[in-house]
Structure formats: C-alpha cells, structure tokens
Copies of this chain bind each other. A is one copy, B any other.
Amino acid sequence: MSEDVFDKIAIIGIGLLGSSIAHAANAYGGAAKVALWDASDDVRHRAARVVHGAVCDTADAAIADADCVILCTPVGALGEVTAAIGQNLKPGAILTDVGSVKAKAASDMAAHCPDQVHLIPGHPIAGTEKSGPEAGFASLFQDAWHILTPLPDQDAAYGEAVERLTLFWKGLGARVETMDAARHDRVLAITSHLPHLIAYNIVATAYDMESVEQGEVVKYSAGGFRDFTRIAASDPTMWRDVFLTNKDAVLETLGRFSEDLAALQRAIRWGDGEMLMREFTRARGIREAIIDAGLDTAEADFGRRQLDPNSEN
C-alpha cells in the first residue's frame, strides 16, 4: 500500500467520471482506500453494485480522513457541494474536481474551501456519451489529457500537493498539463463546448423538419448525422452547466462560428464554388495535423464500443 499516492481518496458524485476514477484507482493503483458518495439515493444504490470502493451513506463519511477529495458533480453544483463538506475536510487534504469549466469552478469552490485545504481544480479530457455509475470503466483516462489549473501565488506545500495530484492522475494513465483557468476555458470552448452545442442543435433541427420523417433521419444517419447524435447523447445536466458557467467564451466562439457559417451560406446561395473549395481544403488541413500528431488513436472508439450494446452487431 505504501506505493499509493494517497491513503484515501473520496469521490463525490458517481457518474461516468466518478465511477471511472474508482475503477481506475482499483485497476492501476493510486489510493489505498476509495470512498464514494452521491446525492441521489438511486445512484448510490446502483453504484454499490458496480463500483470498486465503499459507497457511503453521507458525504461526511466519504470524506472523513481523505487525503484527496474529487468532486465529480456537474459544474453548477461545485459551490454548493464545497459549502456542504468544506468544514469537514482534513487539513492538508487536496480538493479537486473534474468539471469542464475551470474559472467558475475554481471561484465557486474557493468561496467555501478552508485555508488549510489545497484547492487544485482539474479537468480530464476524457468521456463517452454515456452517463451514470454503470458507464464507468478503468481505462477511460489512459492516454487522455488531464488539465490542472492550479491557483496562482501559492506556497511550497501547495506545489507539493500539485505534484502529488499529478502523480495520481499519471498513475491512472493520463497525460497531465497545467494551464491557467481562463486559458483552459477558451481552449475548451472551441474544442469541446461549441462542438457539443452544435451537435445538440443539429439533432433538434432534424427532429423538427416536418418535410422529412424522423424515421428517415434515423435510417440514413450514416451520412454524417450519426456522429452528431452520439455527441448529443451526452448528459444534459452536465452540459447545461457548462454553457451557463463558460458563457463568455462560448458566446464569443459561437459568434465567430455563426459569422463563418453565414459566409458559407452566402457562397452556396451565390454559387461561389471557389470559396467553398478553399474553405473545405483548409479544414482538411487540421485533420492532417491531428493524424500527424498521432492523436487519432482508437482509444476513444474503444471506450465507446465497449459500452455500446449495439456496437458489435
């Protein structure tokens, strides 16, 4: 047990991520003890059947003596949860999270985090479109980026805490980066938040086309639409909170997207094939950069297939 980074971790919120952290800590090490809690009775009962670790009846029981507490709730609940457990966190413990928005997460948690606790916001760039404790699996974080956004101007003990947390996530297979929270939120607005918003939107638009039957949309979805429906199957509560808490960066990015789309629309209306050709060729380039960077591994696909009961038909 002496090899474990932490003696005990506590996971608050047992969805896809919370459950996966428990599975991964069990599979790859990192914590001698794992305790979990979720605000929902139903989720706690379901989690007890699938998760490796002790599912506790109260948050306080889960966090008691924990060296590291990982909040895995939707971003909008982080302040409230920190307020509820803050006073009972062990002095010297680490408080972190997995929220997709970091500036608001940091300020909401900081408002209720005791001074003796090291608040280190974090975000794993990993997930599937599934949610709930049953969706978790140990290899979710393998080769995925994990971004930590440490608070500025902290002491040496804080620096050591960041090192321990980095070691923990590396142990689960992640590649860890640090970044300031505002930069994280700008980068994720374009790489993750906007794509999800667009996917939700196109699926809703298709739903409402009265000139096309929904059955046809489903039937011929292989033409490209299916990829969007998979993204749009992600947890609605989590994503509502992302858009409400990263409002500025999302609206800025969305404004640019809409301007660019209007230019393509105009090119289509006026038959400007050269403009379309130029833009499409340019877009192709970024895909090549991703392949050149060796980033298009089958890992994400693997997770998806493993979880999707229909995927091997």
Which residues of A approach B to under 8 Å, CB–CB? Answer: 76, 100, 125-126, 129, 144-145, 147, 186-188, 190-192, 194-209, 211-212, 214, 216-234, 236-237, 239-241, 243-244, 247, 250-251, 253-254, 256-258, 260-262, 264-265, 268-269, 271, 273, 276-277, 279-291, 293-298, 300-301, 305, 308-313
Question: Which of A201, A243, A280 has the most C-beta atoms of chain B within 10 angstroms of its own C-beta?
Answer: A280
Copies in the complex: 2
Is there contact, CB below 8 Å, between A310 and B291?
Answer: yes
A258 — which chain B residues lie within 8 A by C-beta? Answer: 258, 261-262, 265
A142 to chain B, nearest CB (A): 12
Is there contact, CB below 8 Å, between A187 and B201?
Answer: no
> How many Å lie between the Cα of A290 and that of B280 in the bound state?
29
> How many Å lie between the Cα of A80 and that of B244 in the bound state?
52
Is there contact, CB below 8 Å, between B251 and A217?
Answer: no
**Can you list 7 A-B contacts (CB < 8 A)?**
A190-B206, A195-B227, A198-B228, A205-B260, A243-B276, A258-B258, A295-B310
Is there contact, CB below 8 Å, between B273 and A244?
Answer: yes
Across chains A and B, which 7 residue pairs bring their CB atoms closest together, nearest first?
Answer: A192-B223, A195-B224, A236-B280, A233-B287, A203-B283, A232-B283, A191-B225
> How many Å lie between the Cα of A222 and that of B126 in the bound state?
7
Is there contact, CB below 8 Å, between B201 and A220?
Answer: no
Is there contact, CB below 8 Å, between B196 and A226?
Answer: no
Is there contact, CB below 8 Å, between B190 and A217?
Answer: yes
Is there contact, CB below 8 Å, between B286 and A217?
Answer: yes
Is there contact, CB below 8 Å, between B290 and A239?
Answer: no
Is there contact, CB below 8 Å, between A205 and B296?
Answer: no
A232 to chain B, nearest CB (A): 4
Q: With contacts A265-B251, A265-B254 known, is A200 near B279, CB below 8 A?
A: yes
> How many Å lie between the Cα of A253 and that of B251 in the bound state?
23
A305 to chain B, nearest CB (A): 6
Q: With contacts A188-B220, A212-B187, A273-B244 known, is A311 near B283, CB below 8 A?
A: no
